[in-house]
Structure 1
Amino acid sequence: MDRRSFLKTGAALAVAGAMPSVARAQESTITFGGSIPMTGTAAETGLNVLYGYRCAVKYINEEMGGVEIGGQKYKLGLNLFDDASDPARATTLIQRQVDEGIGFFLGSFGSNIVLPTCAITEAAGRIMVQAGGGSDLIFTQGRKRVFGIFPRASLQFVSSVNMFKTLDPKVGKISIMYTNDAFSEFQATGARKTIEEAGIEVIDYIALPAQVSDVSNVLTTIRQNAPDILVCTTHDETSTLITRQMVATNTNVPMLYQTLGPQTAGYRDALGNYANGVVTQAYWSERATFECEYFGSAAKFAEYYAANFDRTLTYHMASGAVCILAYVQAAKIAGSLDVDAVRDALSALDYNCFYGHLRFTPEGDGDPALLGPLLVQRQAGDIEVIAPGEVASAKPIYPAPSWQDRA
């Protein structure tokens, strides 16, 4: 395929139905296709990733005047559609964009959507860079054209266990609760393995259905067994449901750790002061000392974002933005928009930027030694980094106050 397959002259810098066109007709525009949950169950985090995509495109177009590749200047454009958190709708939209000649794709949010859509782009010889799918199945089935900013799910828990081992009083027993979906189960499996290898007992390993409406019976078991830490590898809405029902049933644990949910403004708004003390993962912090030519630094990314967007900043925005940067850097290194040349450059990418040290494994997921999660905790309404210690902004609050004392 020649590069014209991946360019659109005067293409709209647009998310369908969401942003107006600002590209001028005489400009060559690199258009990124894909879908994102703007509505539906995954919309809270999907919109965060979308705003990260928008932020990077706006900065490169307006502050840097575009990007030069192979001696030619290009603007960037987005052609992203609302998949409504529905894998079937997403696959239809992605296939349509493949048929239209889009070559560079950004990922949706949720492994249940990334898995089928990256299968389409892979089969068509296109590329997907994404910050929404961490299931091992994305990266262990021989794909060569999908890249993930995060490590695969089974390798995401090392830093968490390292933090658990530093807590006082000592952590002796942990319960794990997970939903039966492509991401959460792999993450729970990796968590259990890493926890047990550290000599900590896993006393409960509880599978929930993919769609959860009630966990009251499960919480009876948690109260009876009294773990030191309850780990929930669950998505946003389920995490909120679990916390609400823990409050309602007075199910207290010294540490509640939920891998997705507590990072979001929606979780905070739903739970108020009950969100304080909950621990979660974050793959980026504006307090980190990362720097690069884009945005300048982690802190300056946060400043630029706050000056231009009104949606509350989370690490998902930074993760979305760095997907764009990965493409741009790879194309600059390749000196070309040829899809195979960009793919090869992505595979070999080794780049320090405002997000951190960006490098992929041979299978395409984020290098776990470089792109693994920080641990954060809501404390007095603010999100504080509690591990690793060298970048921590606060010490863990452990044991956490009872729900009654947080009201």
Structure 2
Amino acid sequence: MAITRRQVLRTTGSGLIAAAAARYLPAGSAHAQAGAKTLVFGGSIPMSGASAETGQNVLFGYRAAIKKINEDLGGVKIGNETYKLDVKMFDDASDPSRATTLIQRQVDEGINYFLGSFGSNIVLPSCAITERARRPMVQAGAGSDLVFTQKRKYVFGVFPRASLQFETSADFLKSLTPAVKRVAFIYTNDAFSKFQAEGGKKALEDKGMSVADMIQLPAQVSDVSTVLSSIRANPPDVLICCVHDDAAILIARQMVSTGTNVNLLYQTLGPQTEAYRQALGNYANGVVTQAYWSEGAAFKGSYFGTAKDFADYYRKNFDRPLTYHMASGAACILAYVEAMKNAGSIAPEDVRDALAKLDFKCFYGHIRFTADGDGDPKLLGPLIVQNQSGKVEVVFPEEAAAAKAVYPVPSWKDRA
């Protein structure tokens, strides 16, 4: 019987830019480079624009895995050949149109393996291109159900699809005292957030909680004062925001400025990042979010060793503050490498078939994909974390917790 992500966790505590003009060698992803054979991974990532904070986190995860495999492990043996790894990532500037142009260029120039961007609005059109070209994509930046329910065969994600991401959250909210009775959702009308909110509503209602409001915002948000007025008029116990990083900061700031208090603010994206904590200071304390990895998790395997070993390696080699996004980015590289080793081949279709059958454990957890390509929801579902005294602490599930959840949280004025 498979061990679930919840069962296996134990917590003890909480430049790579290819110029847009760069050309790729044709005819596949393996080429000679300084006497060694090299496998090239292509793709785009937001290094600027609205998603740059998290996009660069994922990029640093790619970089960490490639550095480890090339420099510490001497490359990877696939069949009878040993390969080094390289990645050619363009800055898509958080723009889907730019991303698709760049991805099509890479396909035309012979890149055979792709890593994903960040944001379902970018990955959706990008994976349509790689799907038509029959080139695999492994990504850590898109959870929209639309990525995985259109009968695609070549795209894989290390997270569950959006509608299946709230199982742990529902259990967490159900565990709180005093009991959570009324919940409200705010979500943006984009390819990821809407599915996540709808899946969350079902998960919470299945646990006996009432969802009082489902408030939809436009994809790009500049003001939520009217929405917050309605929240103040009839406050829920918990306000859940299924939004991206910038909108999460905006909502929290306007909640502070308008005195909109709830027993718990839960934002699915944003609070994991250093940028969020810097933007909000002490007001970030008490906010709950999801995390798909913790350095205290009892995961281990080849390549990096334990989750803590990965964290130590990352901090030794990179200055950017560590979040779970680095771990998920590195996991994409390991998934590719393990699949290629299992296949004994670098042919794209062989690699795709091996990814579909992948079942292995590493520092990130137990990586296995569903038949549709998203992460197995029982093995790769999220932890629940809370900002406490400037740190991100795992608070649920209990066997993984480094700290007890603060609930109800202090009012905004008491956090100043």
Normalised to the residue count of structure 1, the TM-score between the two structures is: 0.95
1:48-87 equivalent positions in 2, closer than 5 A: 48-87=57-96
Give the aligned partner of residue 11 of structure 2.
Answer: none
Which of 106, 109, 121 is the equivalent residue of 2:115? 106
Note if 1:201 corresponds to 2:210. yes
Q: Amino acid of the residue matched to residue 207 of structure 2? A: A
In structure 2, distance between residues paired with 1:207 and 1:277 = 24
Paired letter, 2:259: N
2:314 to 300, 305, 309: 305
**Equivalences for residues 310-325 of structure 1 within 5 A:** 310-325=319-334
Q: 2:39 aligns with which of 16, 23, 30?
A: 30
Q: Which residue does 2:402 correspond to in 1?
A: 393
The match for 1:9 is 32
Residue of 299, 304, 307 corresponding to 1:290: 299
Query: Once the two structures are superposed, what CA deviation does each residue of 1:272-296 show, in whole Å capped at 9, x if it has no partner?
Result: 0100000000000001011111111
SS at match of 1:57: helix
Q: Distance in 2 between matches of 1:324 and 1:136?
A: 23
CA offset digits 1:66-95 (Å, max 9, x no partner): 101002110000100000000000000000
Counterpart pick for 2:184 among 152, 175, 187: 175
Check if 1:142 corresponds to 2:159. Answer: no
SS in 1 for 2:375: coil
Higher relative contact order (CA 8 A, sep 6+): 2
Structure 2 equivalent of residue 18 of structure 1: none
Residue identity matched to 1:297: T
Any unmatched runs of 5+ in structure 2? Answer: 1-25
| In structure 1, distance between residues paired with 2:348 and 2:181 | 51
Opposite residue 152 of structure 1, the aligned amino acid is R
* TM-score with structure 2 setting the length: 0.93
Question: 1:197: how far off?
Answer: 1.4
Q: How many residues in Structure 1 have an aligned counterpart in Structure 2?
A: 391
In the alignment, what sits opposite 2:10? none
- Following TM superposition, by how much is the alpha carbon of 1:341 offset from its aligned partner in structure 2, in angstroms? 1.1
* 1:354 maps onto 2:377 in alignment: no
1:125 to 2:148 alignment:
no
Q: Which runs of 4+ in 1 moved over 6 A?
A: none
> For 1:114-153, what per-residue CA distance to the aligned partner results, in whole angstroms no more than 9, with x for missing partners?
0000000000010100000000000000000000000000
State the SS of the aligned residue for 2:392: strand
How many percent of aligned residue pairs carry the same amino acid? 65
Match of 1:243 among 228, 247, 252: 252
- Is 1:192 the counterpart of 2:201 in the alignment? yes
Q: Supply the distance in 2 between the matched residues of 1:64 and 1:223 (Cα, whole angstroms).
A: 56
Match of 1:93 in 2: 102
**Residues in 2 aligned to 1:126 and 1:227: alpha-carbon distance in whole angstroms:** 46
Cα offset, 1:164, TM superposition: 0.5
Q: Which residue identity does 1:132 align to in structure 2? A: G
Give the aligned partner of residue 20 of structure 1.
Answer: none
* 365, 380, 396: which one aligns with 2:389: 380
Q: CA deviation at 1:210?
A: 0.4
Counterpart code for 2:31:
K
- 1:225 deviates by 1.1
C-alpha displacement at 1:176, in angstroms?
0.3
Letter in 1 for 2:258: T
CA deviations 1:144-177 (Å, max 9, x no partner) are 0000000000000010000001100000000000
Residue 28 of structure 2 aligns to a residue in which SS? Answer: helix
Give the structure 2 partner of residue 46 of structure 1. 55
CA–CA separation in structure 2 for the residues paired with 1:77 and 1:298:
24
In structure 1, the partner of 2:13 is none
- 2:228 maps to 219
Structure 2 CA distance for aligned equivalents of residues 194 and 163 of structure 1:
11
Is 2:125 the partner of 1:116? yes
Letter of the structure 1 residue corresponding to residue 254 of structure 2: Q
**Which letter maps to 1:26?**
G
**What 5-or-longer segments of structure 1 have no aligned partner?**
11-24
Q: CA deviation at 1:195?
A: 1.0
Structure 1 equivalent of residue 20 of structure 2:
none
* Within-5 A mapping of 1:232-271: 232-271=241-280
Q: Hey, what does 2:8 align to over in structure 1?
A: none
Code of the aligned partner of 1:211: Q
In structure 1, the partner of 2:341 is 332
Cα shift at 1:4: 5.2
Residues 261-313 of structure 1, C-alpha deviations (whole Å, 9 max, x = no match) = 00001001100010000000000000101111111110010000001111000
Counterpart-to-counterpart distance in 2, 1:4 and 1:349: 26
1-structure distance, mates of 2:80, 2:414: 62
1:21 equivalent in structure 2: none
How far did 1:8 drift?
A: 2.4
Aligned match of 2:6 = none
> For 2:312 and 2:414, how far apart are their aligned partners in 1?
34
Q: Deviations over 1:329-388 (max 9, x none)?
A: 000000110111111110000001000000000000000000000000011111110111
